[in-house]
Amino acid sequence: MNNKGLLIGVVVVLLLVGGYFVFAGKMNKPSTAVTEQQEVFTPTQEASSMEEEGEVAEITVEGDEYSFSPSELTVNAGQKVRLTFKNVGSQPHNFVVDGVGVASKTITGGGSDTIEFTASESGTFGFYCGVGNHRALGMEGDLEVE
């Protein structure tokens, strides 16, 4: 009778211990799942914000005495363009595209101006510096809208 009682006691203890692990396992699983969801969620958010960034074409054009670098630019029709014009020369310069209705501020040497535009029609549009006779001196190039 004593042995049987002991056996029952051991079984009860085993059940309690087993029950604890089952219970603990159930408690652990949802919290692990939440952590995994968060880990998945964060990169997804970054990816979508990167996609939005990718819709804007970033272009940098440098102006000097008396040329643009690069002098050939290509953008896609309908795509938003963020163009930064850097004056790396010593005289004031600007960046103008008549056909697209784009013009930067006239900036002094070392400065820059960022303009945003969307070229809706495809074609080749000449750009130039509108300061003095800079265009005639070679400050011009082509904006290709595809």
The reply on whether position 129 binds Cu ion by CB under 5 A is yes
Stretch that binds Cu ion, among 20-28, 47-55, 91-99, 115-123 (CB under 5 A): 91-99
Q: Does 134 bind Cu ion (CB under 5 A)?
A: yes
Q: Please, which residue, 118 or 138, has the CB nearer to Cu ion?
A: 138
Structure tokens at 71: 């002098």
Peptide bond between residue 70 and the one before it cis (omega within 30 degrees of 0)? yes
Answer for which of 57, 59, 103, 131 binds Cu ion (CB under 5 A) is: 131
Euclidean distance between CA atoms 38 and 26, whole angstroms: 19
Sign, CA torsion 9/15/19/20: positive
Q: Which two tokens stand for residue 44?
A: 């997804």
CB of 129 to Cu ion, least distance (A): 3
Q: Show the site string, 45-84: x = touches Cu ion by CB under 5 A, - = not.
A: ----------------------------------------
**Residue 118 tokens, joined:** 């969307």
86 forms part of the interface with Cu ion (CB under 5 A):
no
- Among candidates 114, 139, 2, 125, which has minimal Cα distance to 58? 114
Name the residues that contact Cu ion, by CB under 5 A: 93, 129, 131, 134, 139
